Chains A and B, each alone.
Chain A
């Protein structure tokens, strides 16, 4: 109780003591509920980047402050939170979370109020391609359409699949990929064995997999987060079905191998970054900070590494733009985003990451295919 009270006091204190000197960075993400760990991962990436920047004296002498709001994965809550951050807190930049619908709901507000909105997780295609001009929405994350093409290509080229079946989480993210995968399959002239939905709360998905097996699926393409993804792997194992599994990055949370059990390694999945591989300078720095601030002991303890990695890089990119613009004015920052030429990031070295027609920081060639092996994520050769 005492800690809770002091925590409350701390929040009150920090929110009151903000001075005009500081640059406010807003985050609207799921901090509670089913997707709570995504919000936590993003928070960690942003916090580490901000601490690094502040340690160097901030941007133009102004310190950065992160202000977070919980959207409870609900679009209306997200809209209210974004408006509050923009109108009341007067944040300079807004970061988004895991849920595509929440991001889609925030997009028009960001464009209207001319506040740059940086997506670091939600991969829905029309978040950045929203038709607005000027467009204030940027992204350092995967884009579903592109990931879907990569997944299908991997399944047919590497796994020899002729008739893959889709296992999709029954939510907006699953649906966004359903469209993407269907389009990719049509383009590649591949017939899909079937499309099955799984719920975040499903205890047993054997019926769905049975339908796919009966339909003749020779590979499974999985789009789901770690917990439901693990449910699918467990059902597959119980059925004794040795079908290859190619997965979107949802299962990349550190605990997928614990949740899915012995067959976890049989799922190959896409990733923007892995803390298991040989680390570059930024990787070492970030991991040290994670260890120091959050008690992370091994790469397996990093929850949802894509969230942390994307957020970390995106924060640094935004900082560069603010630095270049010498202002926190939204219009100026947006234009300065196009001016970033070279940035040594965690995921890669960014070269002119953004342009007036390209608001995606990452491209398909940045995706890597990985799998779990003995508690580690290792790249698939």
Chain B
């Protein structure tokens, strides 16, 4: 009861104040009060679309008009009672909203804005032209007030009715927010992809949101016509749609009280300024702009912020009635169901991302999918969960064929998944995140009257090891908690198969171990677990079966022991020094063994720390690079190698600690200023400018110098002869290897004092990798200072003077490369230590 009061008092307050104002106010005040209430009602309707479904509309005046005209025509031409007319208005507007959602569903962002703008104009002009029905531009007059029996409402009654309607709509919005529909809508708003992976049908959800939103708006429109007694197309101009959007934005998107506060500003403010006559619009524009600047989260956000600052949030961590046994029973599979992938392929443009891959994830077992970056692991997961349709091949869950089905259907069939970058519904509470999954995203569930047990969500969270408050917002969680909650959410679907995409990324060793235990418990319930993970310690420790992918193809499968001994796997992961051309080997060997005198200290990191949101990435790391050196940074995926380079180049901000370049602290500088000082990063994934020609890409490389001289250009072409042939091609059409060459050449065009290379060999065919390293060797002989991050550890070591090995954001080894040449040490860093007997 008290919680009810706590949440519902704004509605009660609005109705009480409104009722008092309606009783004591004069005709004008009653009229304005009714206008505030109706505008708030439209705002609440729009908030269903904007706040719950995350869709924008700049055409809501059209629904307002449709509602007003429907009720007015029914009342004046057919003599309907206003109440019946309003009901019909709501239904017809809702139908119009559902109809508009059909084109609107396919588009987003500015495209959606334009569709709704166009809809507003079509309706306004259509009303003006359909004279026989609407009275054209001259509108409809003498629209009656509502009546009950022989009693006809007067102004005060009508104002009261509007206030009650809006109060009711506030409650309705609150209910909707927490309901099945609200949960699914908010899920599609926060993370479209994750919502589909939990069974939500985007089309149905958004059509529903459009229909509700338009229906509420139409209902308010019916009363608006009755209140004014007169409507014409000019009552519903484009500007009115903007005003409605403003109501929601100023008040607070997604909140119950926001539209009411917004309506107070948007309706009352101009009235209060009416004495300014022609200067009113100007003042309104200025004040509006100020409100937007001061309260970016809306007035409700501002009030909440203020309120929470005064009041210490009472932490209400209840002891969860963790009933692990109950969860076990709830999740346990009666029969073990296998997921079978057979000869599946998909091609993106010219790139065979997955080619003829088959695998089996058995019920009750943990099956792992490993392979270097770019091997096609996540693509395969996306094929299984329906985000891509395979070009060929079969995917079966027990006997059901899944290939080509929509992702939400596959989810409802019993395939749950998590994502590489956490896709929690950040604007929803954690228990709500789970409830969406328990409903399997269904908006309707015929025959099922059962309420979702709130205790179950809590028990499930405890079961995966989440200890925190289930009422916190998804977006406010620490990194490890996100991972756990995402797993709990996937389990809340009671899946037959659980797909996990790098769940351990960013976790500490301890947390990883805990995760391993959870995964084993899940498998023990009969669920088929398919795991993509880079942490080999974890993978080798818990997997029953492994499949190894490289360049889109399956290169090996077997038990962890088999895989660790497989030479092909080792080569795929570490690269092979023996295949390096003798010239490089020769070259680098010499350099390595003749201890070259160290040049001046050019680049240094000191006690450098950085984090991604709440997930730490670097812990007080130190490193230095001297002129003329090649330094390799090695480590498993997620060790922090790329973050280190990004932090040095200024792309990752903020960081703590020091980055010194030529003796100057640069840790606070933005990326472009660091680039101008000739510390140049060749970023991971090439990042060429796809629509510009090769030569223009090179010219951009020299942007910091003003112009690229012809001689420089020719010397770059001499170094990369292939680029000379391709110089007028758009860079986007180049192959991966050519793009990598271009990215390096572009970096060199800046005449760097230090060149940072981030994963240059990523996703390249072995022959191309050879060519690449040959080029890097040439750079080295020319005395260019390099800091190299590469997954091809052995290749990198042939090139490097010194190496630094990272683990979990910390330096675990720094020094001569010779000590690292022992293959076992490196293999352990990359593939994990040999598993203990299971």
Contact = CB atoms under 8 A, between A and B. Distances in A.
Contacts of B237: 74
B27 interface: yes
A76 B131 CA distance: 20
Interface in A135-163: none
Contact of A70 (B28, B128, B131, B280): B280
Interface stretch (A49-57, A170-178, A186-194): A170-178
Contact of B275 (A11, A39, A113, A171): A11
A84 B25 CA distance: 12
A12 B274 CA distance: 11
23 contacts: A4-B279, A7-B279, A8-B276, A32-B281, A68-B278, A70-B280, A72-B281, A75-B228, A75-B231, A76-B224, A80-B35, A80-B271, A81-B274, A83-B27, A83-B28, A83-B31, A84-B28, A84-B274, A104-B141, A126-B141, A171-B234, A172-B234, A176-B137
A104 B274 contact: no
B277 A101 contact: no
Nearest to A106: B230
A75 B235 contact: yes
Nearest to A131: B142
A76 B138 contact: no
Interface SS, B side: helix
Contacts of B279: 4, 7-8
B137 A76 contact: no
Contact of B28 (A86, A105, A171, A175): A86
Given A31-B278, A72-B281, A105 B228 contact: yes
Interface in B267-318: 271, 274-281
Counting chain B CB atoms within 10 Å of each CB, which of A4, A12, A76 scores highest?
A: A76
Q: What's the interface size class on A, roughly?
A: 35 or more
A87 interface: yes
B736 interface: no
Given A80-B271, A84-B271, A87-B28, A70 B138 contact: no
A105 B230 contact: yes
B228 A101 contact: no
Given A88-B26, A100-B138, 13 more contacts: A15-B275, A32-B281, A68-B278, A72-B281, A74-B237, A75-B235, A76-B228, A79-B230, A80-B31, A87-B28, A101-B139, A104-B141, A170-B137
A101 B275 contact: no
Contacts of B229: 105, 108
A80 B32 contact: yes
Contacts of B232: 75, 101, 104-105, 172
Given A86-B27, A108-B229, A70 B278 contact: yes
A81 B276 CA distance: 12
B27 A69 contact: no
Interface string A348-366: 0000000000000000000
Contact of B138 (A12, A32, A39, A176): A176
* Contact residues on B (Cβ < 8 Å of other chain), bracket: 20 to 34
Interface in A83-140: 83-84, 86-88, 99-102, 104-105, 108, 113, 124, 126
Contact of A75 (B27, B32, B234): B234
Contact of A104 (B31, B32, B139, B281): B139
Interface of A: 4, 7-8, 11-12, 15, 31-32, 36, 39, 68-70, 72-76, 79-81, 83-84, 86-88, 99-102, 104-105, 108, 113, 124, 126, 170-172, 174-176
A11 B276 contact: yes
A117 B344 CA distance: 79
A152 B35 CA distance: 43
Most chain-A CB neighbours within 10 Å: which of B27, B35, B137? B137
A80 B268 CA distance: 11
B541 interface: no
B157 to A, nearest CB: 15
B29 interface: yes
Nearest to B283: A8
B438 to A, nearest CB: 46
B136 interface: yes
B278 A79 contact: no
B137 A88 contact: no
Contacts of B275: 11-12, 15
The 4 closest A-B pairs by CB, nearest first: A87-B28, A31-B278, A172-B137, A83-B28
Nearest to B224: A76
Interface in B152-181: none
Contacts of B278: 31-32, 36, 39, 68, 70
Nearest to B137: A172
A191 B767 CA distance: 85
Nearest to A81: B274
Nearest to A105: B230
A73 B26 contact: no
Given A70-B274, A80-B32, A174 B137 contact: yes
Contacts of A86: 27-28
Contacts of B280: 32, 70
